[in-house]
Homo-oligomer: A and B are copies of this chain.
Amino acid sequence: MNILKQAQRAKEASLKLAVLNTKTKNTALIAIAKALKRNSNAILQANKKDAEETKKSGLNDALIKRLMLDRHKISEMTEEARSVARLEDPAGRVLSQVELDKGLMLYQVACPIGVIGAIFESRPDAVVQISALCLKSGNSVILKGGSEAKNSNRILVEIISKAAEKNGIPKGAVQLIETREEVAEMLKLSDYISLIVPRGSGSFVKYVQEHTKIPVLGHSEGICHVYVDKYADMKKALDICFDAKCQYPAVCNAMETMLVHKDIAKRFLPLMIKKFRQAEVEIRGDEKTRKIVKGIKKAAEKDWKTEYNGLILSVKVVNDLNEAINHINRYGSRHTDAIATENMKNAEEFMDKVDSASVMWNASTRFADGFRYGKGAEVGISTAKIHARGPVGLEGLVIYKYKLVGKGQVVKDYIGRNARKFRHRIIKKLL
């Protein structure tokens, strides 16, 4: 089937899916969880095939590790589907209600977006997570997983769509595409697909952003900062910076650049850098940093713009809070940035002025995550400036429509001499 046809089918399905009640959607999610469990052997077999083929093609071990499933991971996948069933349905809620005039009532009601295009790399468990989130919010989804997981993806989508259809989800709600050419085709179908959710490396997300007119929810880079203020508590600052860099260096919310106020640098930097060196973090510093601690490589202009995703850290000594804020707004990626300080005024100024999705005071940047933020499930982390920003849960997969209920009213009566006046009486208003 060609991609246009698939997208049309997904669109048709989405219109039906949008009006399903919560119970039907939840029943389908539970059925999906059961079907995954029941078909564990077949899933593991397909996954084994992927792993073997990937090994033959000489891809690296880290990738193969990410790709591989076992019984525990299948349990986790089924639990994921069940936990999405337990989340509140984001569609259907009345967000506002305004009586425009007597007998003319306006409702603003949350509803699904339509068709989501989800593109992700190697991990096949993403198939389950993303399908569950889309079904729960009432959206169709077209999935494209990593080609090295093609057998796993294929069987997972087959199990999911079969179980879903048996339980009242319209045919075509969960579909798979497999090749890069199909992705390129999909990115053009803005008449049918309303949102692209890419997960993967920065360069991959950038490719997606640059090749589509469909809105993209995600982030290509996580250049996160911690600023150690003049008024920082030494222990907190040491702990936060170490956690932000070392707890999991390969992820988008890890620290890439540490900014240190000049008045605390001489006390703070020797202790901090000692700690980092013990953890084998390579430091690249500006002139002032290199004067305070010996044996540090010089940071180039490029370092301030680099997401290392590993055990490298750039360090800069700044003259004041303002220089720190300006540095972050200039070089950062608007993802997550933190300040360590005991000075409330400075903390508030930092959080107000830093133009990032998450800003933090005395906490590690690693907290920027859908689960930790209490969202239950995460669609992704967005550095866009519209729709949904930061860690995005189910709320990012819905929009709203207006429903106006009248008794035959016409606009003519509200215009000109003796015009009827609108009441605009607010009955409910969440935002």
Which A residues form the contact surface with B (CB < 8 A)? 15, 18-19, 95, 98, 100, 104, 106, 113-114, 194-195, 209-210, 213, 215, 217, 233, 235-236, 239-240, 242-243, 247-248, 329, 340, 347, 349, 351-353, 355-364, 366-368, 372-374, 384-387, 389-391, 395, 399-412, 414-415, 422, 424, 426, 430-431
Contact = CB atoms under 8 A, between A and B. Distances in A.
Contact of A95 (B239, B355, B363, B431): B431
Chain A residues touching B, majority SS = mixed
A395 B95 CA distance: 13
Given A239-B408, A360-B404, A389 B399 contact: yes
Contacts of A422: 372, 374
Contacts of A386: 113, 194-195, 215, 217, 386-387, 399
B408 A247 contact: no
A185 to B, nearest CB: 18
B385 A194 contact: yes
Contacts of A367: 100, 104, 404, 406, 409, 411
Task: Return the 3 tightest CB-CB contacts between A and B, nearest first.
Answer: A363-B406, A236-B408, A243-B410
B113 A404 contact: no
B411 A366 contact: yes
Given A387-B386, A430-B431, A361 B404 contact: yes
A404 B422 CA distance: 42
A284 B338 CA distance: 63
A422 to B, nearest CB: 7
B402 A358 contact: yes
14 contacts: A15-B353, A239-B408, A239-B410, A242-B410, A351-B403, A357-B402, A358-B403, A358-B404, A359-B402, A360-B403, A361-B406, A363-B409, A374-B426, A387-B387
Given A100-B373, A430-B431, A113 B385 contact: yes
Nearest to A99: B374
Nearest to A358: B402
B15 A329 contact: yes
Nearest to A400: B389
